[in-house]
């Protein structure tokens, strides 16, 4: 961002689910050596939605603290990023707009490009604020990652939502120009309209991700971005946390930099804390990494951070942000840790029941069991309409 105007992330909050499945329970079910999960992919547990939770309830729960703290008078746009959409026409953000009682003088849209969508939403928000500095934009990234039972991807599932308030003179991060961009038509991960669970080619996905890291950073450099050694830390999209390590090692190799373990750990170690226990949250993942970094690191005031946002199929963006001095006074660390700690562990049988749950498609009235203790719930499906309620 040019020096005359500072736009970025003013506040950030996240929410996750009512339940959690430890990977020890998954390993006991399928006979996998636990080290394959804990060490091999870097995952220890996965967030599991209750029957009355979905991307709307998670998104509203993430955004509610921002509205409580800052009000909604300046919010004229809500951008909801997801790849686990609940409707082919209506934006999930419209339900959130209603649950949070936001002003009617507001545009609400939904963005989709696999796990990259939230970064597109953030970049669009920056442009809107630059156009009208008096307004703020509410960006919500919310997803439920779902793969078929007993499939290789099952262990990487998760669910969470991150909400960000984007505006002038931000409290947390000032987003910089330029961005490095990369797109390639690959079939590494996709979910046709007729499927609830995604399809993934694991090896192709890793290769496509690494290609995108290289391509987006190359463009970032060509656009006049910062040299690699200036960054205090790197926030990567984390479909599983070990992927961040693979990605950073690949970037260091591409740049001819040192790839020793300590160097990599210093660059990304703190960013994996929330993802390792929540699992893959698709669009929210890279910003959960940011939350984990800000909540744990020593004072980062004035330090530049790097972001690599990747979405299968594939689109990637490499960009930078500077941490605003005094940011620690505005963090939600206790709330974030409580969101993780409050989850109730479930056994494999209970998780499997929740995973297989689906609404009938005949348009009848189907109430949901009241399971979540969160502030919002999906109460029923009635006449093909989703009915939400706030507590």
pLDDT in tens, 347-372: 999 999 999 999 999 999 999 999 99
CATH level 2 (architecture), domain 7-390: 3-Layer(aba) Sandwich (3.40)
pLDDT for 91 equals 98
pLDDT for 203 equals 85
pLDDT for 197 equals 84
Active-site position among 18, 53, 83, 176: 83
* Active site (annotated) includes residue 235: no
**Per-domain residue ranges of the chain:** 7-390
pLDDT for 2 equals 43
Active-site position among 10, 97, 237, 248: 237
Residues of the chain with pLDDT under 70: 1-3
pLDDT for 200 equals 85
Active-site position among 53, 97, 110, 115: 115
pLDDT for 1 equals 37
pLDDT for 202 equals 80
* Active site (annotated) includes residue 355: no
Q: What is the 3-state secondary structure (H, E, C) of the chain?
A: CCCCCCEEEEEEEEEECCEEEEHHHHHHHHCCCCHHHHHHHCCCEEEECCCCCCHHHHHHHHHHHHHHHHCCCCEEEEEEECCCCCCCCCCHHHHHHHHCCCCCCCEEEEECECECHHHHHHHHHHHHHHHCCCCEEEEEEEEEECCCCCCHHHHHCEEEEEEEEEEECCCCEEECCCCEEEECCCCCEECCCCCCCCEECHHHHHHHHHHHHHHHHHHHHHCCCCCHHHCCEEEECCCCHHHHHHHHHHHHHHCCCCCCHHHHHHHHHHHHCCHHHHCCCHHHHHHHHHHHHHHHCCCCCCCEEEEEEEECCCEEEEEEEEECCCHHHHCCHHHHHHHHHCCEECCHHHHHHHHHCCCCCCCCCEECCCCCCCCEEEEEEECCEEEEEEC
* Active site (annotated) includes residue 237: yes
């Amino acid at each position: 961002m040019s020096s005359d105007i500072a736009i970025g992330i003013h506040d950030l909050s996240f929410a996750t689910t009512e339940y959690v499945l430890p990977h020890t329970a998954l390993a006991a079910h399928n006979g996998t050596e636990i080290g394959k999960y804990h060490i091999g992919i870097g995952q220890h547990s996965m967030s599991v939605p209750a029957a009355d939770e979905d991307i709307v309830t998670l998104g509203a729960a993430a955004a509610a603290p921002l509205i409580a703290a800052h009000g909604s008078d300046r919010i004229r746009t809500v951008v909801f990023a997801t790849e686990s959409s609940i409707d082919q026409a209506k934006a999930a953000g419209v339900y959130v707009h209603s649950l949070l009682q936001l002003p009617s003088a507001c545009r609400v849209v939904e963005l989709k490009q696999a796990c990259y969508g939230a970064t597109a939403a953030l970049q669009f928000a920056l442009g809107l604020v630059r156009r009208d500095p008096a307004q703020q934009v509410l960006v919500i990234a919310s997803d439920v990652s779902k793969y078929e039972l007993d499939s290789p991807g099952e262990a990487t599932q998760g669910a969470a939502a991150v909400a960000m308030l984007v505006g002038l003179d931000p409290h947390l991060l000032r987003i910089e120009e330029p961005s490095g961009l990369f797109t390639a038509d690959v079939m590494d991960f996709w979910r046709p309209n007729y499927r609830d669970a995604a399809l993934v080619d694991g090896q192709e996905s890793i290769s496509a991700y690494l290609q995108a890291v290289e391509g987006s950073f190359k463009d970032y450099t060509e656009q006049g971005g910062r040299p690699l050694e200036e960054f205090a830390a790197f926030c990567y999209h984390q479909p599983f946390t070990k992927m961040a390590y693979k990605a950073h090692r690949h970037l260091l190799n591409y740049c001819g930099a040192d790839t020793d373990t300590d160097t990599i750990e210093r660059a990304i170690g703190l960013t994996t804390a929330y993802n390792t226990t929540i699992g893959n949250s698709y669009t929210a993942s890279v910003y959960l990494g940011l939350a984990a970094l800000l909540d744990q690191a020593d004072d980062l005031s004035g330090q530049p951070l790097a972001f690599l946002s990747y979405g299968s199929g594939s689109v990637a963006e490499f960009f930078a942000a500077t941490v605003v001095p005094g940011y620690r006074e505005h963090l939600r660390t206790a709330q974030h840790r409580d969101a993780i700690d409050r989850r109730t562990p479930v056994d494999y049988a209970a998780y499997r029941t929740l995973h297989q749950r689906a609404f009938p498609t005949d348009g009848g009235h189907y109430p949901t069991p009241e399971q979540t203790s969160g502030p919002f719930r999906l109460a029923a499906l009635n006449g093909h309409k989703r009915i939400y309620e706030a507590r």
